[in-house]
């Protein structure tokens, strides 16, 4: 039978510290619009103004994937991409802005 690590134990403290310091993979929610894109078509302009949400994951190697199937080399590349299209916000799952 396996026992839970005792927090008074050195191994238990190491495991607890490792669990607390674990940063990756990091999940987030990306909310963005395409307001910087232009179109002569009024229907398309209205679509560009809509705010869209998607979920993403940042991995320990720096790669970022979105639930839309898009992959970026790092968070900076993703921010540059969405900043060129319009405005965006990144929030963790608790709603805190990143």
Average pLDDT, the chain: 82
Question: In this structure, is residue 13 part of a structural domain?
Answer: no
Question: CB of 67 within 8 A of CB of 54?
Answer: yes
Cα separation, 65 vs 75, in Å, equals 10
Domain count, the chain: 1
pTM over 0.75: no
Question: How do residues 14-47 score in pLDDT, each as one tens digit?
Answer: 555 545 555 678 899 999 999 999 989 999 989 9
- Average pLDDT in the 6-12 region? 59
Question: In this structure, is residue 86 part of a structural domain?
Answer: yes
Query: Structural domain of residue 86, as residue ranges?
Result: 28-92
Pairing of strands 26-32, 52-58: antiparallel
CA distances from 11 to 3, 16, 21, 22, 65 (A): 12, 9, 15, 16, 34
């Amino acid at each position: 039978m396996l026992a839970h690590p005792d927090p008074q134990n050195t191994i238990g403290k190491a495991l607890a510290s490792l669990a607390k310091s674990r940063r990756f993979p990091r999940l987030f929610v990306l909310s963005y619009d395409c307001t910087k894109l232009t179109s002569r078509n009024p229907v398309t302009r209205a679509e560009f103004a809509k705010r869209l949400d998607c979920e993403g994951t940042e991995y320990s190697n720096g790669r970022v994937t979105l639930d839309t199937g898009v992959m970026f080399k790092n968070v900076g590349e993703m921010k540059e991409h969405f900043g060129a299209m319009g405005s965006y916000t990144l929030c963790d799952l608790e709603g805190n802005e990143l």
